């Protein structure tokens, strides 16, 4: 009995010590990790909106409005979240457009998060992937294969194809990674939809 109590006490001490060490490590690394994430986000903002010199976070971009939530789901974006929205401005403070951070929960390997820059006229400057955990050699090609296809496009929404894009609004799917292609395309469409429905933007497809 005494040995059991002694063993339990030792185990408890080890557990408490390990918890203390983990807590100290977390406190030490928390700020550098946050700073690195902030720096990566700023680089992504500049990448998708190179003409902007200032990015200002909009307040209250998430909504609990039941009508909008229903509208969002009916539009097919239940698996997409708009994480934040920033105004992109020039050196005089004039609004050039918006940068949206979007997360898709529809990826094959988990969430896919990226930023996208949209000009006032609805032109999509492009996307910058912040985090992705898709299959190596397949879905992980999203950065190389999908990302360039969105640059400079002015369309209300995108579709993807496996047989070769024939219009500005079509995206060539990653071979063997249809789920990843669909997740990214739908999330980009969600960002465009948010721009059009919540930020007063409009998109007339370029001829």
| 43-61 mean pLDDT | 87
Which residue is it, tokens 């496996």?
Answer: 162
- What confidence tens digit (pLDDT) does each residue in 124-151 have? 999 999 999 999 999 999 999 999 999 9
| 41-48 mean pLDDT | 88
Which conformational region is residue 194 in: left (phi greater than 0), alpha (psi within -120 to 50 degrees), or beta?
alpha
Q: What is the CA radius of gyration of the chain?
A: 22
- What confidence tens digit (pLDDT) does each residue in 80-136 have? 999 999 999 999 999 999 999 999 999 999 999 999 999 999 999 999 999 999 999
The CA distance from 48 to 125, in Å, is 6
* Residue 6 reports pLDDT greater than 80: no
| pTM for the predicted model, two decimal places | 0.81
DSSP code for 205: -
Split at pLDDT 50, 70, 90, the class of 161 is very high
Residue 172 phi/psi, 5-degree rounding, is -70, 125
Higher pLDDT, 24 or 152: 152
H or E segment to which residue 62 belongs: none
Q: Which residues pair with 84 in a beta bridge?
A: 101
The angle formed by the CA atoms of residues 101, 107 and 109, to the nearest 5 degrees, is 120
pLDDT given at position 109: 95
pLDDT given at position 78: 94
């Amino acid at each position: 009995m005494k040995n059991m109590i002694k063993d339990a006490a030792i185990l408890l001490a080890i557990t408490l010590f390990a918890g203390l060490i983990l807590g100290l490590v977390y406190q030490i690394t928390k700020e550098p990790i946050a700073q690195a994430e902030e720096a990566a986000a700023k680089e992504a903002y500049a990448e998708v909106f190179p003409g902007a010199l200032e990015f200002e976070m909009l307040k209250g971009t998430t909504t609990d409005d039941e009508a909008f939530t229903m509208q969002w789901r009916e539009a097919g974006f239940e698996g997409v979240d708009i994480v934040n929205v920033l105004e992109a401005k020039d050196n005089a403070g004039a609004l050039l457009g918006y940068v949206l951070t979007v997360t898709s929960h529809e990826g094959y390997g988990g969430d896919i998060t990226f930023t996208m820059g949209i000009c006032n006229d609805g032109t999509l400057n492009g996307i910058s992937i912040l985090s992705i955990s898709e299959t190596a050699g397949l879905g992980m090609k999203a950065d190389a294969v999908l990302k360039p296809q969105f640059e400079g496009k002015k369309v209300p929404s995108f579709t993807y194809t496996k047989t070769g894009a024939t219009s500005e609004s079509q995206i060539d799917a990653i071979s063997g990674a249809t789920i990843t292609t669909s997740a990214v395309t739908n999330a980009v469409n969600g960002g465009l939809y948010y721009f059009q429905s919540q930020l007063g933007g409009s998109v007339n497809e370029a001829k």
